[in-house]
Amino acid sequence: MLSTLTATVTVGSGPLTREEVVAVARGGAALAVDPECEAAVRQTRRVIEALAADVVPHYGVSTGFGALATRHIPVDRRGDLQRNLVRSHAAGSGPEVEGEVVRALMLLRLSTMLTARTGVRLETAQAYAALIDAGITPLVREYGSLGCSGDLAPLAHCALAVMGEGEVRDADGRLLPAAEALAAAGLAPITLREKEGLALINGTDGMLGMLVLACHDLRLLVATADVAAAMSVEALLGTDAAFAEDLVALRPHPGQQASAANLRALLVGSSIMASHRGPECTRVQDAYSLRCAPQVHGAVRDTLAHAEAVADRELAAAIDNPVVTVDGRVESNGNFHGAPLGYVLDFLAIAVADLASVSERRTDRFLDVARNHGLPAFLAHDAGVDSGHMIAQYTQAGIVSELKRLAVPASVDSIPSSAMQEDHVSMGWAAARKLRTAVDGLRRVVAIELLTAARALDLRAPLAPAPATAAVRDLLRETVPGPGPDRYLAPEISSAVAAVANGSVLSAAETITGVLR
């Protein structure tokens, strides 16, 4: 959660961690550039400068770009080449991209610059660090990246701002011309030199930044989904027998084992569960949405672990084209292709949709008198006069339906560009954008399940819930009243969504259980 994020992040001392990216992008952590990387950055810059006057063409230094790479650029036009590259590629359109995403992609581009593999000047890297530290966020638009040759348009909008052009938001969120914002912060615009324009836009930083942020959010959400599932199992008079350690060990997926352990911990000491454990209970097994919660939630965990592994490998990468190798060669390569990121971004969207789907199914069971084991229809105070949580489930269903559409992969939909020079692209940016929408939808679905399950727990009185689930119910009761006649429901849903997003739901449960896995 934000309160635990690093206060200062040092860039250039090695690969950034996912936690450090979140700390800068979302938590506003300060930046420090490791002075030990400066000599290496200067050394590779000298390699580029040595090529600047070479009569032999070198991509990004003395040639055009993409399909125009065969055009040799005269020495006196190479400054124009870099400036024009950024200006022409800053061609984004559509809604404004969230500030945390822009900060993440700028930080990741800075990190690559400080690997000394791009050939930029040290002062160019320092200008990026200064812009981030000043809280100046370039205005980036939704559309423009195909996820190949890097996130070209988004990164170009950031490079444009460092040049003192385009639009930015300052630390107070005001939309200003970049030149005005830089001057107010005491920063000077940079003039790009050989290869620098290309180095500033040729990376997968937008895709990676969004993957890191999504993984961070999903770690919280999947544990919170376990809390919601435990409350639902309890309030629907389900059994925890299927979550036994020896049973889940028969199928040794680590995520499944973690989820089952969480459910067992959350349900300890429940009078509601104890009320139907005796031989008089004729129910031998629950519906899949209850009984298989560890299997579904666990599969989401394992998918997330795979995505985090991909993100960590990408954080250790130096992505540019061409690159300056350790032995001083300048070589073209294909490391900018976003396929590794696009695939896991799409994979996560599938997992998110299914986690939301099983949550919605549990919620729906509460509302049907044929399946809720003695609770009133729709959990209404006076069914017929009151509708209870009927339409809250509609909201869930609408979101889940949207999440299923968002689970359709973007990474299989390549569209050739640049006169067929870039004839296969990843669409990783699109995969990341839809994943952000999906994560927000999942948060809302889980919040509605929590609200519904908490209401059902109250309706089981005088039987008492487990201490952990009771702690969550009590947290929700601080802002959402218990059962009663129909009320304006939207603010109550918003309150629950906020409690999920800021981690307070999970924290309330963990005050009883300890840290959930």
Rounded CA separation 503/242 (Å)? 28
Q: What is the pLDDT along the chain (517 residues), one digit of tens a residue?
A: 333 456 899 999 999 999 999 999 999 999 999 999 999 999 999 999 888 777 777 777 777 666 666 677 777 777 788 899 999 999 999 999 999 999 999 999 999 999 999 999 999 999 999 999 999 999 999 998 898 878 999 999 999 999 999 999 999 999 999 999 999 999 999 999 989 999 999 999 999 999 999 999 999 999 999 999 999 999 999 999 999 999 999 999 999 999 999 999 999 999 999 999 877 766 778 999 999 999 999 999 999 999 999 999 999 999 998 999 999 898 889 889 999 999 999 999 999 999 999 999 999 999 999 999 999 999 999 999 999 999 999 999 999 999 999 999 989 988 888 777 777 888 899 999 999 999 999 999 999 999 999 999 999 999 999 999 999 999 999 999 999 999 999 999 999 999 999 999 999 999 999 999 9
The one-character DSSP state at 376 is P
Q: Which sequence spans correspond to the domains of the chain?
A: 2-203, 210-513
On the CB side of 469, how many CA atoms lie within 13 Å of its CA?
Answer: 37
Distance CA(347)–CA(83), nearest Å, equals 37
Supply 333's token pair. Answer: 């390569």
Report how far residue 487's alpha carbon sits from residue 389's, in angstroms, rounded to the nearest whole number.
Answer: 10
Provide the phi-psi class of 491: left if phi over 0, else alpha when psi is between -120 and 50, else beta: alpha
- Whose CA is closest to 205, among 325, 111, 120? 111
3-state secondary structure 84-141: HHHHHHCCCEEEECCHHHHHHHHHHHHHHHCCCCCCCCHHHHHHHHHHHHCCCEECCE
* Tokens at 300, concatenated: 């989401």
Give the homologous superfamily in CATH for domain 210-513.
Fumarase/aspartase (Central domain) (1.20.200.10)
Q: CA of 402: how far to CAs of 6, 17, 210, 350, 461, in Å?
A: 35, 32, 20, 12, 36
| pTM for the whole structure | 0.95
Contact 243, 265 (CB under 8 A): no
Residue 147 C-beta-side C-alpha neighbours within 13 Å: 27
CATH architecture classification, 2-203: Orthogonal Bundle (1.10)
Q: Give one word for 415, left, alpha or beta, with left for phi > 0 and alpha for psi -120 to 50.
A: beta
Three-state SS for 417? strand
Catalytic residues: 59
